[in-house]
Chains A and B, each alone.
Chain A
Amino acid sequence: MLDWIDLHPYTLLIITFIILVSQEIIGFIGKNQLQEFVWLVYVKVGTQLSLSDSFKLYSTKVSEIQRLNKEKRLISAQDEYAKWTKLNRQVDKLTGEIAQLKDELSKNKSSINSLVNLFITLLTTVPLWFFRVWFRKSALFYLPPHYLPHTLEWILAIPFFPVGTIGLTVWIFAVKQVISSLVFLLTFPFEQPTSKPVKVEKVVEVKN
C-alpha cells in the first residue's frame, strides 16, 4: 500500500524546493491579486461560455440606469410629471434588480475566492506537511562522515532522522533561508528610500 509515495530522495528534494519557491512567488504576488485575476478570468470566460450571464446583465443594467438618470435630469419633474414618474418607477425597479444581482455576484466572488484559497493551500501547504510526516525518517542525503561535530549532527537530525544525514526539516529551513536572502538581495536595490522624518520645531508662543 502507498508504494508510489516511496519517492527517490532527490525527487523529494526537488519537489520541496519547487513548492517552496512557488510559495514565495505567491507571497510576492499576493493572494488578493491572484483571487482578483482568477475572478476576472472567470468573468471573461464565464460570459463567453455563457456560464454566468449575471455579469453581463449587471453591466447592461448599470448602463441602463445611468441612461435613465440622465434622461430624468433632462426633463422638468413639474412640467412633465407623468413622464418623470414613469422614469422614476423604472429606476426604482432597476435599482432593486441591480442590488439583487450585486448580491449574487458577490456571493459568486466569495465562493471563487475560497476556491482559490483552497487551491493554493492544496498546492503549497498540504504537500509539505504531508512530506514532513511521511518522510520523517528518510534521509535526503548524507553528510561526509565526521564532517560536523557529533552534537551538531545530532541536532540536525531532530526529530527522527538518522544522525549524520540531512532530513526534510533542515532542507526546508535552508531553502527558505536562501530564497529569502535572494529575494532580499534582488529587491533591495530597487527599494524606494524612505524620506527622513523631519523634526517639527515646536513653536513657542510668546505671550505679550
Chain B
Amino acid sequence: MTTLTPTSRGGAPAAGRTVLVLGATSAIASAFCRTRAAAGGRLVLVGRHETRLAAIAADLTARGAAEVATVTTDLGDMAEAEARFAAMIARLGPPDEVLLAYGVLGEQAAAQDSAEETRRVIDVNFTSAALWLQLAAKHLVADGRPRTLVVIGSVAGDRGRQSNYVYGAAKAGLDAFAEGLAHRLHRTNVKVVTVKPGFVDTPMTAHLDRSGPLWAKPEAIASAIDRAVASGQRIVYAPWFWRPIMTAVRFAPRAVFYKTKL
C-alpha cells in the first residue's frame, strides 16, 4: 500500500534556479513556477493564503521542483518589510530570480467614489511593490551571479484611460520605478525585466467577457516571462501584439482618444 505524501519523488532533478515568487497564487505566477519546477528549480512561494500556497507547492513538487518553501504573508502590508524580506530569502538562499506577480485590479467605478479604494489600488500595486523591489535590489547586488528581477506590469500603465486609470497609474508608476532600477543596476549582475501582459484569462478577470482574439492564457504569459529572463530584454509585451497596439494607444491624439470608451 502506497502512502502518498506531496514530497515523495523519484528521479534526480536537474540543478535548477532558485526563484522567489511574490504573489505565488496568481495564475500567471503559478504557470511560471511550473516552467521552473519542470527544470528542477527551487521555489519560495509568498502569498496570503496558506492552504493555496500549500496546494501550489505540492503541484510544483510533483512536477519536479527540487525544493519548495512557502511564506504566508500579506505583501500589501508594508510593516517591517525589511525583516520580512530577509526571512523570505533566508528560506532557500539568495534567489536567481525574483518574480513580482501580485496585484489587485480593483474596481475603477468604486475607486472614483472612494479615496480608500483609490489608495488601496495604488498601495498594493505600486507602493508595496516598489518597496519589495527596492529590498530585492539591495539584497541581490552583492555577488557576481546573473540574477533577474521580473516585474509584472500591465499594458494599462502605458496611458491613462477613463475606464482603468487608478490601476493604470499604479502600474505606470511601477514602470518608472523598474526603469530607474534597471538604470541603476545596469553595470551589475542584476537585470530588471518588465513584462506587460494584456488581457489574461485568470480569476482576476473572471468578471469580464473573455471572448475575442486579444485574450491570452496564463501559460502563454509564463512562456513570455521565461523568454524575457533568458534574453534579458528590458520590456516585454505579452503576447507580442500588445506592443503595436499600445504604441497606437499611446500616440493617439486626444481629439480622437477622448471620444473612445477605452
Question: Does A pair with B?
Answer: no
